[in-house]
Amino acid sequence: EIVMTQSPATLSVSPGEVATLSCRASQTVSVNLAWYQQKPGQAPSLLVYGASSRATGVPARFSASGSGTEFTLTISRLQSEDVAIYYCQQYNDWPIVTFGPGTKVDLK
Amino acid sequence: QVQLVESGGGLVKPGGSLRLSCAASGFTFSDYYMAWIRQVPGKGLEWISYMSSSGSTISYADSVKGRFTISRDNAKNTLYLQMNSLRADDAAMYYCAREAPGYGSGYYDYWGQGVLVTVSS
């Protein structure tokens, strides 16, 4: 099983600043990596797929990059509505997919 | 618009059974692979099962293999999860999710709101 890790566990960022989230895979997943946002009390929603492609309707302040085992999600100009837990997910091992433990983003 | 609505959750005793349903609307259900994913409150996400669009291909996580059964009725636009021999560690929010278009896309573009399963005596 491919194990996903995320860092940091919690990230406190001032409004308008940049948030940088990391995701690492225990073995290469190529670009078969998705990011999800889960706001309090809600289901996860797709942010990014293919390691760097924004899903429909996702604001341009969300950008993502990486390949192989190292991935990054960047939120530029953080807004209050971005407070959430962010999960990465590999699907290189489809249909067995695994998620990272999440990074909680809150406002400083 | 795409909607996935889960139902069937609740409180069950250890060793008991539940059947979850996920009613789909706003898209051609029979064209899409579907999955069940669970989340212990306050914890991360765990993929537990997937079914191909026709129902011919199924996969389970080791944690539920032999106890849970995924199925679908394309005529009723509904996905199911039969859960038997439930254990305390099966207690979680259960989400159904639509796999994005394309064979083996592997990521989920729509999720239901979730249904809570509590396992306790």
Whether B59 and chain A come into contact, CB under 8 Å, resolves to: yes
Which tens digits make up the pLDDT trace of A38-97? 999 999 999 999 999 999 999 999 999 999 999 999 999 999 999 999 999 999 999 899
Kindly tell me if the per-residue pLDDT of B91 is higher than 80: yes
Q: Which residues of A touch B113 (CB under 8 A)?
A: 42-43
Which tens digits make up the pLDDT trace of B7-25? 999 999 999 999 999 999 9
pLDDT of res. B102: 81
Q: Are B27 and B100 in contact (CB under 8 A)?
A: no
User: How far away is chain B from the Cα of A99, in angstroms, using its nearest Cα?
Assistant: 6
- pLDDT bin (cut points 50, 70, 90) of residue A29 is very high
Kindly tell me if the per-residue pLDDT of B103 is higher than 80: no
CB A99 to CB B47 under 8 A?
A: yes
pLDDT of res. B7: 98
DSSP letter, residue B29: G
Pairing of strands B45-51, B10-12: unpaired
pLDDT of res. B55: 93
pLDDT (average), residues B4-9? 98
Kindly tell me if the per-residue pLDDT of B42 is higher than 90: no
Long-range contacts of B73-79 (CB under 8 A, 24+ apart): B74/B29, B74/B30, B77/B23, B77/B24, B77/B25, B77/B29, B78/B21, B78/B22, B78/B23, B78/B24, B78/B29, B79/B21, B79/B22, B79/B24, B79/B34, B79/B36, B79/B51
Q: Which residues of A touch B45 (CB under 8 A)?
A: 36, 44, 87, 89, 99, 102
Q: Which residues of B touch A10 (CB under 8 A)?
A: none
pLDDT of res. A64: 98
